[in-house]
Structure formats: C-alpha cells, structure tokens
Amino acid sequence: MNTEPLTIDSQKAGLRLDHFLVQQLPHISRSRLQKFIKEQKVTVNGNHPSVHQFLKEGDIVALAFEPSETNEREKVGNTRNWKIDIIAEKPDYLIVNKPAGILVHPAESAREYTLVDYILEHYPEIKGVGEDPLRPGIVHRLDRDVSGVMVIARTWNMYEHLRTLFRDRKVTKEYEALVHGSPSAAEGDISFSIGRSKQGDGKMSAKPDESGKAAHTRFIVLESFRNYALLRVMPQTGRMHQIRVHLRAYGLPIVGDALYHARQRKNDLGAARPLLSAVKLSFADLTGAVQTYSAPRPEDFDHILESLRNSNTVKKKI
C-alpha cells in the first residue's frame, strides 16, 4: 500500500503514531500496524519512528506496505448463531451476558465473528465510541471461554466514565468458579504478582516476588465437595487471566482449564472449558447511582455442579 503522505494537522497533533494510524486505517489491527512500524514500513518526516512516537503539527507520515499485507479480517461463522442475552439496555450503556466460546473483540490470531460484531449489527451507533475502532464501546473483557455479565458503553461520556472507574478499581466484579482441591479455610486472599510466562507460550504466570504486576484476588467458598469446591471470586485488580493464574498458583486450579491445568483434563468431570463465569457487576452510572447486574451460571456449568451435588460427594455447604 503506497498512499499519499498524511500531514498532521492541529487536531491530530499530540496523538501517538500507532493510535493515529488506527484512526486512519480502522480495517487493520493496531498490533499489525505496530508491526509495520517496527519493520520500518512507516516514516515520519522521512525517518523511521518508534511505535510510541508522539506526532507534532506539520509532521508528514508516509506508508509503504503491500495490499496483501492489509487484508481485512475474514470473518468465519456468524454471531447470529450465538445466543447473546441483552440484560439491560440503557441510553448510555448495554449490559450483556457473554456466552462462553465467543471472543469479545477481533484478535490478530483469530479470523471469526466476535461479540463486537454482534453488537455493531444491533447497535451501529456504538461504532464511533472509544479509542480503538476494533473495540468500540469495550472497557473490559472476558476470556473467550469465560461467560458472564459485561458492560458496553454506548456513548463517549459513558466510555470515559467507565474507563476511569475500571482504572481506579471502583467497579465490583464477582465470578463463580468450580475448582480442584479443598480449601482449608472458608475464604482467602491471593496476592502473587503476575507476569508473562518465561516459556514463551502466551500464558501468564504467578510470581513469588514483585517481578510481575501487582495483583489481588479474594475468594469465598460457597460449597465444598470431595476433591472440588465452588468459589465466589472477587478480583481486586484486572490482570490478564488473573483468576485462572491465581487459583492455579494457590493450588485450586479451575475445572476444565486446559491452558493452566492441562494435566488434569482427564479428571475434569467432562468440562469442555474453564468453569468460570462472571455472575455480578456493580458500578456507579453517570448520575452517581450504583447499578448492579447479574447473570446466571451457564447450563454446562450448572449441569456439572448438579452432578457433583447428586453424587454423594458433598462435604459441606458454607
């Protein structure tokens, strides 16, 4: 792609280069654009910039990459096949119950329809909300195989408001998880720092020191079975895969979690995914009133839980 050079005007001055390019080329992911910058396929005033260079008024940005390198994401499947419940529809936000198995937003490695595609089909006005055109309205996310309640901004004011609440840890999130093991206490706190795994396998890892990012997870035991437990989990921070990593490091790996507990797959009660679901979300709306929304456990989770309750393996309920 050899386009006419782009001159930065006063409205674009101050933007970071990769953010500017995302605005100009919304059909290309930010990670792909960052890759082009690192490969020196983008110049600013004739020089090869860094990804994080901030632009000034009058700067000239030139692009040089082949059309084949910028193919729009080929979407496989269709979100119309998914049952996505809209829990609440407000003028400035939506509350959805995300099913397990669907990505929240497009990813470089995945060529498929996502929750974002579904939302844009039904609420096209959200398209311009947010800093990243590939993630309109998205202020938090759930892993592909995790189900549950999410909030999606419908307006810029709500987007910025929610971003601030999440940043300042003023959003209350509660999950339920079925785990291997028997907790020794009715509740617990986990505070291992979290960083990238040194194995280079895309996983996160709990650190015994402060070499990772600070992370804090609280849990309460709801029911205890022989070799299993149902937990209410309250993450106090929002690190990638935090609950899955923390529970595994604490000795309570989530049932069905093939990524962080692959060795136990044969003993996972028939679970095809991690049995983890976001069941409650609370936040203050634009008026300051606290809003609380909940979503039920999905059927596959409930089915396995009921089989445990009916198999004479119950130790106690808390």
Question: Is residue 266 over pLDDT 80?
Answer: no
Confidence of residue 271 (pLDDT cuts 50, 70, 90): confident
Question: Is residue 88 over pLDDT 60?
Answer: yes
Question: Is residue 52 over pLDDT 90?
Answer: no
Q: What is the mean pLDDT of the chain?
A: 85
The set of residues, in sequence order, having a beta carbon less than 8 Å from that of 122 and lying 6+ positions away, is none
pTM (global) more than 0.85: no
DSSP class of residue 215 equals: -
* Cα–Cα distance, 280 to 95 (Å, whole number): 11
* Cα–Cα distance, 287 to 291 (Å, whole number): 10
The domains found in the chain, sorted by start residue, are 6-69 (3.10.290.10), 73-168 (3.30.2350.10), 170-318 (3.30.2350.10)
Q: What is the rounded average pLDDT of the residues 90-118?
A: 85
- Whether 145 is a known active-site residue: answer no
- The catalytically annotated residue of 18, 117, 143, 145 is 143
CB 222 within 8 A of CB 234: no
Residue 52, H or E segment: none
CB 13 within 8 A of CB 6: no
Find, among 71, 53, 69, the residue nearest to 61 by Cα: 53
Q: What is the pLDDT of residues 173-194, one digit of tens each?
A: 999 999 999 898 999 999 999 9
Q: What is the rounded average pLDDT of the residues 282-291?
A: 97
Q: What is the pLDDT of residues 110-147, one digit of tens each?
A: 567 889 989 998 999 999 899 888 889 999 999 889 99
